[in-house]
């Protein structure tokens, strides 16, 4: 029976919780973006606090609108990068399903990356709506997918630090 636990099917079975988490992120991301698209026109904003607005923004670039004015090719380049990242992450989830923090990080990044790829394919831009600012400082608007990617990246760093500490 022990040999059965190392079969590809069991590894695939152990990665389903991580794929389910990515799907939860993807669905939540797309629902919130749909609500924004339905309720706001581009540039509309609703102040929530003295440091936070809900706003409708379109990002044709990458993080912090990097390459947003590049002429259109970036839509397909960032879509391609997202697809490549998706394939790599699924491969890693399948190879390491027992590493909980690592897989949580990767599946969070996966859900966010796919959410933004869906936007690029459907709209030609990513819908952003979370807008933070304070005392002359303004953070670029972002969305739930971006938040999941950020949490995943932080967890990847933490996972590596813990792995290094354990190796000592």
Those residues with Cβ within 8 angstroms of residue 138's Cβ, 6 or more apart along the chain or in another chain: 131, 132
Judge whether 142 lies within some domain: yes
- How far, in Å, CA of 113 to CA of 108, rounded? 9
Judge whether 139 lies within some domain: yes
Q: Does residue 146 have an active-site annotation?
A: yes
Q: Which of 46-50, 63-67, 77-81 has the lowest mean pLDDT?
A: 63-67
Judge whether 2 lies within some domain: no
Centre a 10 Å sphere on the Cβ of residue 68 and count the other Cβ atoms it contains: 15
Judge whether 5 lies within some domain: no
Task: Provide the 8-state DSSP code for 65.
Answer: G
Reduced to 3 states (helix: H, G, I; strand: E, B; else coil), residue 55 is strand
The yes-or-no verdict on residue 111 having pLDDT over 70 is yes
* Helices assigned H by DSSP within 40-127: 73-95, 100-123
Judge whether 91 lies within some domain: yes
Catalytic residue among 119, 131, 146, 159: 146
Judge whether 4 lies within some domain: no
Do residues 97 and 16 lie in contact, with contact meaning Cβ atoms separated by under 8 Å?
Answer: no
Bridge-based pairing of strands 52-59 and 45-49 is antiparallel
The yes-or-no verdict on residue 89 having pLDDT over 90 is yes
Reduced to 3 states (helix: H, G, I; strand: E, B; else coil), residue 41 is coil
What pTM was estimated for this model as a whole? 0.85
Q: Does residue 119 have an active-site annotation?
A: no
- How far, in Å, CA of 50 to CA of 141, rounded? 16
The yes-or-no verdict on residue 10 having pLDDT over 60 is yes
Q: Which of 125, 139, 148 is nearest to 67 (CA)?
A: 125
- pLDDT band per the 50, 70, 90 thresholds, residue 88: very high
Segments forming the whole domain that contains residue 54: 10-167
Catalytic residue among 29, 128, 131, 159: 128
Q: How many domains does the chain have?
A: 1
Judge whether 1 lies within some domain: no
């Amino acid at each position: 029976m022990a040999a059965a636990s190392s079969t590809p099917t069991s590894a695939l079975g152990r990665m389903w919780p991580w794929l389910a988490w990515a799907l939860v992120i993807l669905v939540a991301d797309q629902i919130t973006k749909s609500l924004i698209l339905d309720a706001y026109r581009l540039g509309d904003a609703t102040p929530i606090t003295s440091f936070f607005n809900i706003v409708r923004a379109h990002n044709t670039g990458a993080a912090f609108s990097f390459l947003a004015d590049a002429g259109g090719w970036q839509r397909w380049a960032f879509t391609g990068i997202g697809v490549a990242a998706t394939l790599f992450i699924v491969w890693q989830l399948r190879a390491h399903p027992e590493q909980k923090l690592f897989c949580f990080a990767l599946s969070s990044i996966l859900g966010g990356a796919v959410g933004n790829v869906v936007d690029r394919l459907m709209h030609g831009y990513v819908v952003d709506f979370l807008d933070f600012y304070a005392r002359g400082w303004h953070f670029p608007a972002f969305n739930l997918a971006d938040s999941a990617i950020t949490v995943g990246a932080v967890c990847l760093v933490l996972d590596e630090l813990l792995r290094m500490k354990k190796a000592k």
